[in-house]
Amino acid sequence: MQRKTPASLMLVLIAALLLSSLATAQSVGDTIELYFGDWHTSSSHTIRGGLQLRDIFTRGNPQAPTQKGAVLRFVNSYDYATLAPRASSQTTRLDGQQEVYFVESGHGTVTAGGQTSDLFRNIAILVPANLEFTIKNTGDQPLTMYVINEPVPAGFRPNSSILVRDENKLPITSSDGHWAHIVKTLFVTSDGLATLESVLTVALDPLTIGRPHVVDHDDIEEVWTALRGTSIAFVGNQLRRQTPGMAFYHIPDNKTPHTNINQSEDSQVSFLYFARYHPHELRK
């Protein structure tokens, strides 16, 4: 009788074949670990009167990081934020910067410019520069969010109000990018992003793999964060088990491939993805 190969092993074998075909063109060794971040292992600091932040990635040199996670070149910071039950942040106005929030759990509200919107799982908010806003936790559990802070270039004209998107209700933008990516678009340049060019969610169906690929220029900023389910991150010549809250940064050396693998036989995995591909014209 022929013995069946477990699905997870089959995916690893597939990855091994892909690795063998790309073995001459990729980063190797312990340096890959510098491009992974996980908020669970970060210390917290408090800002704006109660918002607790844990670093995922910080500013640094992505070509040669001096410490783990210090890789951001174009984005200011990428954090995991927690607001305690019934707490509220101080009213804040972002000067020379904007923020994108993606709610991971809890319930709350965001108020800005006379507009109040509800916050709950999978709600995304683009908070523009120069607009005062407050975030409040209205529930009995912590309100948790991923926070991307991007700089605003000179001459950029920010939105006049917050922009809220409910990922739960968004249509699928595409379902076959890089073989298997199921994409929902949260924000793009035309929505008011200043430095980033896209913020998306990406899902993989059971037993699927994205196409390993290399970006052919080095001025990219691309981050993949696991939201739901455990997957396998394929970066360079190595595999990493990626659990929710764990992120990896695409190595911008024009030679290191990356992708994601869903080894589960019965459930999707999903990711929060953001990227800056190249300089884009200012909107005036």
Residue 210, pLDDT > 90, answer: yes
Helix, coil or strand: residue 225: strand
Report how far Cα 44 is from the mean position of its chain's Cα atoms: 19
Percentages of the chain per state (helix, strand, coil), in multiples of 5:
10, 45, 45
Q: Nearest Cα to 257, choosing from 37, 65, 27, 68?
A: 27
pLDDT tens-place string over residues 56-85: 999 999 999 999 999 999 999 999 999 999
pLDDT of residue 284: 31
Dump the DSSP string for 31-45: GGGGGEEEGGGSPEE
Q: What domains are defined for the chain?
A: 7-276 (2.60.120.10)
CB count in 10 Å sphere of residue 126: 25
Residue 27, pLDDT > 70, answer: no
pLDDT tens-place string over residues 105-131: 999 999 999 999 999 999 999 999 999
Residue 64 contacts by C-beta under 8 Å, 6 or more apart in sequence?
none
The per-residue pLDDT of the chain, averaged, comes to 90
Residue 29 — pLDDT band, cuts 50, 70, 90? low
Helix, coil or strand: residue 241: strand
Residue 282 — pLDDT band, cuts 50, 70, 90? very low
| Portion of the chain with pLDDT greater than 70, in percent | 87
pLDDT of residue 151: 97
Calpha distance 23→189 (Å, rounded): 35
Residue 52 contacts by C-beta under 8 Å, 6 or more apart in sequence?
44, 45, 46, 81, 82, 83, 84
Calpha distance 161→156 (Å, rounded): 15
Calpha distance 160→163 (Å, rounded): 9
CB count in 10 Å sphere of residue 262: 24
Residue 14, pLDDT > 70, answer: no
Calpha distance 80→52 (Å, rounded): 8
User: What is the rounded average pLDDT of the residues 265-270?
Assistant: 97
Calpha distance 32→249 (Å, rounded): 9
Residue 254 — pLDDT band, cuts 50, 70, 90? confident
pLDDT of residue 11: 57
Residue 22, pLDDT > 70, answer: no
pTM (predicted TM-score):
0.90
Residue 283, pLDDT > 50, answer: no
Residue 189 — pLDDT band, cuts 50, 70, 90? very high
Q: Nearest Cα to 40, choosing from 268, 272, 225, 240?
A: 225
